[in-house]
Amino acid sequence: MQLSATPYDERLTAPRSWWFISFLVGVAFALILLPFGTLPSLGGLVGGTAVAAVAASSYGSMRIRVVGDSLIAGEAKIPVAALGEAQVLDAEEARAWRTYKADTRAFLLLRGYIPTALRVEVTDPADPTPYLYLSTREPQRLAEALRAARETAA
């Protein structure tokens, strides 16, 4: 496997505010268990915070990578030869493509807390997916990595 000229690897981590919310969930569990004593309340704080933090971490563990001649977006692995033009979407256009412009057949790897995205046409006639919608903080860099991988694969 040959690496692309412009490697790309991005983890779609959850925003910092979610970690604070995880702590607040722990506080809520502590308050719920307060009538049972200090020890159960402390257990509620630790346990509730831990469970909420694991949920935030797992949701934010999604990755987008360009490796060799493939785009790996979450669980999907797509050869770059099956992909067409990539369109960088600013915040306004990204919102439009994940709402009223969206196609139900499209592959969406979206995170609402990431305002920008990349829309990539799928050119494989055997694939019913019309396009990929990928939330990314660096859509221009991802588009360049896909372009470089396509040129290297050709």
Which residue, 98, 114, 10, 106, is CA-closest to 62? Answer: 10
pLDDT in the model for residue 61: 82
pTM value > 0.85: no
pLDDT of residue 1: 47
State yes or no: pLDDT of 3 exceeds 60: no
- Residue 6 confidence class, pLDDT cut points 50, 70, 90: low
* Distance (Å) of CA 49 to CA 40, 41, 61: 14, 12, 18
The domain locations on the chain are 78-153
- Distance in angstroms (rounded) separating the CA atoms of residues 150 and 18: 37
Residue 4's pLDDT band (boundaries 50, 70, 90)?
very low
